[in-house]
Structure 1
Amino acid sequence: MENRHCAIFGPVLTVVVVRLHAHDHPFCDDIMGTNDGVSSSVPASHTITIALIWIKTCQLPNLPPTFLRSLKTSKRASDIPSIRIWYNLRPQTCSSHHDSLPLPNRYVFDVFGTLFDWRSAVVREFKCLARDASKRGSNTEAMLSGVNWMEFTDEWRKGYGRNTKALAAKPTPSDSFPKLDVVHRQILDDLIISHGLHGVFTELELTHVNLAWHRLDPWPDVPQGLRMLQRGYMTSTLSNASVRLLVDLARWGGISFDLLISSELFGTYKPNPRVYLNAAELLDLRPEEVCLVAAHRYDLEAAKGCGYATVYLRRKGEDDGEPEINTPNEKIDVVVDDLQDLAVLLGCMNI
């Protein structure tokens, strides 16, 4: 029998690895992704046993729901999402998780898609709007019946990406910098015309649905995950949303931050480097003392180019059809499945 400690997550997530025999499947290699030619399949009983050792060793008082659920269904080690947190680190034994992690202790968060589920909320508002408008007559009902509001919402979001990136490409701050509500409304108006819906909705209705971005619901892991992180770390937004929009989202979602930072403050949009560099300066920090958490690789790559540490938070459907990122690379330091996993990883277990 061979016992090994893989302190790849610091002492909080120290994993005791037991090789029963040389031909058994190494749990540590399964976690690290270092396929040495041996199948990574591990019997469920081994997985649960090792997971229980992990819990006992780390003395975790609060585990993310994803981890607890996975214990009931796992058939192999890599099925446990809370363990399947990847680092751009080599295995090492550490005396303090603060010393061992490749991350600072100031965290700034992208908002749309990373912390808030924009798609579900906006689609819901469009469907309500269409239902009310359909009552005005058969012609209106016929016009609206063929609209796929999920696709319509995705087009709106893609227009946001194109327009903000075009504005971000301007080399100097613009005195005529348009706030995001204005950008959203311009895209919405164009979509209404291109889908043959001109005149279907009133101006009041269009204004209301344009502000749906102020009424997004946070992802289920976010409220608790943020509270856990805030026990030991500074948190702030770093978003293309305006300051007012961020205030409304925080209030609507019942979450809080130490600070709300918007690209609006710097007269441009992400991924312009001014946003990341000026945000660090606003915090009186060097860029390398700040970590961006986001669900979009373009955002993280731009932040890394400015010196930030980066955490990729995987959200299904958020990365514009790009292949899912499963492991770190030169631009992404850490990959996690949800915010509570990140909090546990950083030692913020007590809520």
Structure 2
Amino acid sequence: MKGLIVHEWIARSGGSENVLQAMSNTFPNSDIYCLWNDAPERFSHRIVEESFLAQTPLRRNKAAALPFMPKVWRNVVLDDYDWTLVSSHLFAHHVGTKSSRAHGQIFAYIHTPARYIWAPELDKRGQSMATRISSPFFQRLDRKRASEGTTFAANSRFIRDRIRETWDQDATVIYPPVAVTKLQSERAWKDRLDSKESEVLSSLRGEYILGASRFVSYKQLENVISAGESAGLPVVLAGAGPEEKFLRETAKTASVPVHFVDAPSDHLLYALIQSAQVFVFPPIEDFGILPVEAMALGTPVVVNSVGGAIESVTALDGGSAVDSFRGPELAAAVHDALGKDMSKARMKAQMFSEESFSENIQKWMGL
């Protein structure tokens, strides 16, 4: 059976790109279609077809390209394929002309219904005047396309519920792939660091609470500082981004030391996680890869009780969740996380592995 894998656009890095990579590994003989490909080296051994948008300046401006996307996806002919597997967080699940959608099966793995139009409170891009005006039209179109017989999977129960609320469709929950096998292949990631990275790690003497992500507002990294203050432990923030100035200003008035590690490599990030007492992850995420990585490495986590991250924490019993990153509740959550037996969580983490994802995808598709 000949298959096609569809993805919104291919970037050099990102969680959805990791899902695409895992799909590609699962179905190595399938073709790939996307709006545009900004990482041609990533799938250089595969046929990757781009839409006409790739030949226009719109590829550099997703907001400007958005009004054209539904039409582009609708015009894709799928007649040469027995099945189509879609990785969607915007409109990719619209793929296929009406006649060709009836020809083969469409399976759509949903990272989230487009937050721009369905959950603007979680995405600043959805709060612009232009998006607010156009959202009702896109909502009607999105709901209509979702009702055309596509088989859906969601990357968490949190997103399955959002699919039900927005599209009135059901979905199978398949958690996204996490590189658990790779993470657990090294007993001590500090042994893989170069001399400069080793100096960074050794400068962080003693116990600390870790937060890591892009330094952007919705990641709420200031709440990691609050967690350190509540526990009386130093804080390490690892990453880079536009909120760094704000975070450094917040750190100046903190009651505990706050150290910054600029854009760590994967090896250094893994070593930072292994050396931390607790990994704190405040944002409301669709799933949350980093908490799973932390638990797979043996570090307990504190996450937001809203969103998908709580699902992995509950499944692995590898930490705690809070409604508020303030006051006694936060202190209790950190204390609870510190008391977790992480040996069991490490063993159970394979349920979120790339191998498990591949098996679950094939079972869901009946292939």
**Would you say same fold, with TM above 0.5?**
no
Larger Rg belongs to = 1
**TM-score (ref. length: structure 2):** 0.27
**TM-score (ref. length: structure 1):** 0.28
Determine which structure has greater relative contact order: mean sequence separation of CA pairs < 8 Å that are 6+ residues apart, divided by chain length: 1
